[in-house]
Amino acid sequence: MATLQSECWILTGYPEGMPDDSTFRLERRPVPAPGDGEVGLETLYISVDPYMRGRMSPVKSYVAPLSPGDVIAGAAVARVAESRHPDFAAGDLVLAPLGWRTAGVLPGGLLQKVALSANRASLALGALGMPGLTAYFGLLDVGQPKPGETVLVSGAAGAVGSLVGQIARLMGCRAVGVAGSDDKVRWLTEELGFHAALNYKAHEDLRAALAPLCPDGVDVYFDNVGGAVSDAALGLINLRARLVICGQIAQYNAKNPPRGPRPFATLLVRRARAEGFIIFDFKERFPEAQQRLSTWVDDGRLRVRETVIEGFANVPKAFLGLFAGENTGKMIVRL
Amino acid sequence: MATLQSECWILTGYPEGMPDDSTFRLERRPVPAPGDGEVGLETLYISVDPYMRGRMSPVKSYVAPLSPGDVIAGAAVARVAESRHPDFAAGDLVLAPLGWRTAGVLPGGLLQKVALSANRASLALGALGMPGLTAYFGLLDVGQPKPGETVLVSGAAGAVGSLVGQIARLMGCRAVGVAGSDDKVRWLTEELGFHAALNYKAHEDLRAALAPLCPDGVDVYFDNVGGAVSDAALGLINLRARLVICGQIAQYNAKNPPRGPRPFATLLVRRARAEGFIIFDFKERFPEAQQRLSTWVDDGRLRVRETVIEGFANVPKAFLGLFAGENTGKMIVRL
C-alpha cells in the first residue's frame, strides 16, 4: 500500500524583518496511518493569521516559537478521512491544529467537531472561531463598553476588527473604525453599520482626521495595529478609557524595537487603562460566546466577509498579504 | 487697623521645559478679614509636589491649570488665627488648600482638622495625607499585589515610593526600589526594609542591573518616574503584571512629547495591564486608609522621613529640588 503523502509548508529559518517567499519551503512528508485514538485528516481550509509571525522568531512570545524545519503551525478545517477515535467518523468536519499541510494525523483529543456545512465550515476559523472569540471577549470583557460610549477599533476591516465594531454597535455604542483603503471604509460604514470609519493612508494628521468622527472622544480603543494609528487614538481618549491591546501588526516585522511617543503620561492624565489579553484566558466561556456569535451570524446581525485565496501553493502568499492589508475580513486559504 | 498681609509666590508665566527662579515672583497681598463661615489661617508647613508642574502649563491635565499672576496652588498645614466657622477655633491645626502663601482666608468647608501635634503636623502632607493615600490605593487597589509577588517601585525614595515599598513588604511581597543615589538605596534597604534597591544613575544597562534584584520577575510595577527606568521595568514584567502609572516625573519638564520604545507589544505578550489613577477617585475610602496608615506609622511598621526646607523664601527652591532628586521622603517647607 502506497504511503499517503502530505504537502507541507516548512519554515526555512527565522526571517529578519518582513518574511518573504524564501521564509517558506514546500515539502512532501509521509502521513502515517492513524494509531489508536488518532484521526486521519484531509485539509479543507487553512487559516493565516497575523499572530503566526510571532512563531517565526526564536523569541518566546505568547505562542511557542517554531524551529527551522518545522511545518508552520496553525488552525485548519479538515475532513476526517479515517478515524480510530470513538468521537469521530469518516466525513466529519473538524477544527484541527494541522498547520500548513494538506493532510495529517492527530490525536482525537486535539480536534473539535464543526457543526457547519462544508461550504460554511471556514467560519470556524473566523467569526465563529478564534477571531470571533477574540473580538467578543476582548471588547466585552476587557473593554467593558457601556451603551452610548464610543468604541474605536484599528485594523477595523480585519477578521477581528470587523467583528469588534459590529458587536460594539449591537451593544449600543458608537462604532468607529480605522482601516487601510477607501473600499474598506465603505464596507465598514455601508455594509457593517459602523457609524464612521477612516482610511488612515489618506491622512497626514491622523488625530485631526479622527477627532470629528469621535465627537464625544474615545471610551474604548480596541487596538489591532499599534504605531501611528494608536498614537492618534490615544490623543482622543476620555477619562477612564480602556485600551484593549489585541494586536500590534504594524510592528510585528520591525527589525528593531519600534519607538514612538511615550503613552503612559496620557494614561495617567486620563486615568485610563491599557490591557493585553489572549483569548485562551477565557477558555471556559468559549461555549457561551460561540452560541451568541452563531446566533448573530445566523440572523444577520453580524455580517461576515472572507478573503478566500485558492490553493495550497498560495498559503505563504495569503499570509504575507495580511501585512499588506490585502484581506477584507478573515483571510482563508481554500484547498 | 492695619490690613494683614500675606507673602505669596506668584506664577510669572508658563515655563518651557524646566521651571527656574524666573518662573516665580514674591509678592505681598492683603488678607481680608474672614467673613461668615470663613477662617483666617497662618501657614506652618507648605507641601511641594511633582504634580504641581502640571499646573504651570496651559494644557488641561488632571489638575486645573494656573494662570500667570496666580498664587501657586497646593496643600499646606496651617494654624487657625481667627474663625468665623463653627467647626474651627483659633489654635486648631488644619490641612488647607492655601498654596504658596504665608497666610490666607478660606471657607471652613475646604479645611480638614489635623489631629496631630504641631511638630508632627507635616505628616498630614505626607504619609498621612495625599502621598500616603496615593501609595495605599495605588498599590493595593490598582496594583492588587498578592503575597509572594514582586513589587518594583520607581522614585522609591520619594514621598509616595518610599511608602509603596513598605506597604508591599507589609503585604508579604518582595519590595524592590529604584532611586537616584547610593544613600537613598541604603536608606531603602537598611532602614525601610526594601528587599533590594538600585541606584539607576550607576548603571548603563538598567534592565540587566535590575534583573538579579527581581529573580522571579516583576508582578506589580508602581511607576512614579517613567522614561528609561520604566523601559527597564517593562522588560522584566511577568504574565498578568499590573503597571500602576502614578507619576512620570522624568518627563514633566520635557519640551517635546518624549519618545521611547513602544510598550504595548509587551503588554500584549505578557497580557499585562497599565493603569493611570488619581487619588480623588478613592475619596470615599480615605478614612479607612488614613486609619490604617496612621496605625502603621504609630507602631513603626511604616517609617517616614521628610526633607524639610526652612523658610518661605525657599519654597521655589524646594519645588525645583524635586526634579533634581534632592528629597529623601516627602519634601516639606517649614515656615
Report ipTM for this prediction.
0.92
B316 touching A (Cβ < 8 Å): no
CA distance A150 to chain B (A): 19
How large is the greatest C-alpha to C-alpha distance in chain A, in angstroms? 70
Summarize the confidence of residues A136-146 as an average pLDDT: 98
Q: Chain-wide mean pLDDT for chain B? A: 95
A2 pLDDT above the threshold of 90: no
In three-state secondary structure terms, B115 is coil
User: Closest residue of A to B281, CA-based?
Assistant: A271
pLDDT in tens, B122-166: 999 999 999 999 999 999 999 999 999 999 999 999 999 999 999
Q: Chain-wide mean pLDDT for chain A? A: 95
pLDDT in tens, A232-284: 999 999 999 999 999 998 888 888 889 999 999 999 999 999 999 989 999 99
In percent, the amount of chain B with pLDDT more than 90 equals 93
What does the alpha-carbon distance between residue A265 and residue A75 come to, in Å, rounded to a whole number? 39
A1 pLDDT above the threshold of 50: no
The pLDDT value recorded for residue B2 is 57
CATH of B4-125+305-334, one of 2.60.40.420, 3.30.1340.10, 3.30.420.80, 3.90.180.10: 3.90.180.10
pLDDT in tens, B93-129: 999 999 999 999 999 999 999 999 999 999 999 999 9
Give domain limits for chain A.
4-126+304-334, 130-280
pTM of the predicted model as reported, rounded to 2 decimal places: 0.94
Judge whether B168 and B138 are in contact, CB under 8 Å. Answer: no
B275 touching A (Cβ < 8 Å): yes
What does the alpha-carbon distance between residue B246 and residue A131 come to, in Å, rounded to a whole number? 34
- Segment 56-75 of chain B within 8 Å of chain A by CB: 61-62
Contacts of B62 in chain A (CB under 8 A): 268-269, 271
- As a whole number of Å, the CA-based R_g of chain B is 20
CB-closest option in B227, B230, B269 to A62: B269
B271 touching A (Cβ < 8 Å): yes
Judge whether A223 and B264 are in contact, CB under 8 Å. Answer: yes
B217 touching A (Cβ < 8 Å): no
Contacts of A267 in chain B (CB under 8 A): 245, 274-276
- As a whole number of Å, the CA-based R_g of chain A is 20
Question: Per-residue DSSP letters for A224-286?
Answer: SS-HHHHHHHHTTEEEEEEEEE---GGGTT-SS--EEE--HHHHHHTT-EEEE--GGGGGGGH
For residue A25, the surrounding DSSP H or E stretch is strand A24-31
Chosen from B207, B239, B245 to mutate, greatest number of chain A CBs within 10 A:
B245
A144 pLDDT above the threshold of 60: yes
What does the alpha-carbon distance between residue A141 and residue A139 come to, in Å, rounded to a whole number? 6
For residue B43, the surrounding DSSP H or E stretch is strand B38-47
Q: How far is CA A124 from CA A71, A311, B189, in A?
A: 22, 19, 55
Classify domain A130-280 at the CATH class level.
alpha beta
A17 touching B (Cβ < 8 Å): no
Summarize the confidence of residues B32-50 as an average pLDDT: 97
Judge whether A225 and A249 are in contact, CB under 8 Å. Answer: yes
Structural domain A4-126+304-334, CATH architecture: Alpha-Beta Complex (3.90)
Q: How far is CA A155 from CA A191, A213, B59, B273, in A?
A: 16, 16, 31, 21
Summarize the confidence of residues A72-89 as an average pLDDT: 97
pLDDT band per the 50, 70, 90 thresholds, residue B254: confident
B1 pLDDT above the threshold of 50: no
User: Closest residue of A to B61, CA-based?
Assistant: A269
pLDDT in tens, B276-297: 998 989 999 999 999 999 999 9
Identify the CA nearest to A59 among candidates A254, A317, A319, A279: A254
Least confident of A97-111, A175-189, A277-291: A277-291
A325 pLDDT above the threshold of 50: yes
pLDDT band per the 50, 70, 90 thresholds, residue B241: very high
- Asked whether the CA dihedral A273, A277, A279, A282 is positive or negative, the reply is negative
What does the alpha-carbon distance between residue A39 and residue A55 come to, in Å, rounded to a whole number? 26
Summarize the confidence of residues B305-315 as an average pLDDT: 97
Contacts of B260 in chain A (CB under 8 A): 259-260, 262
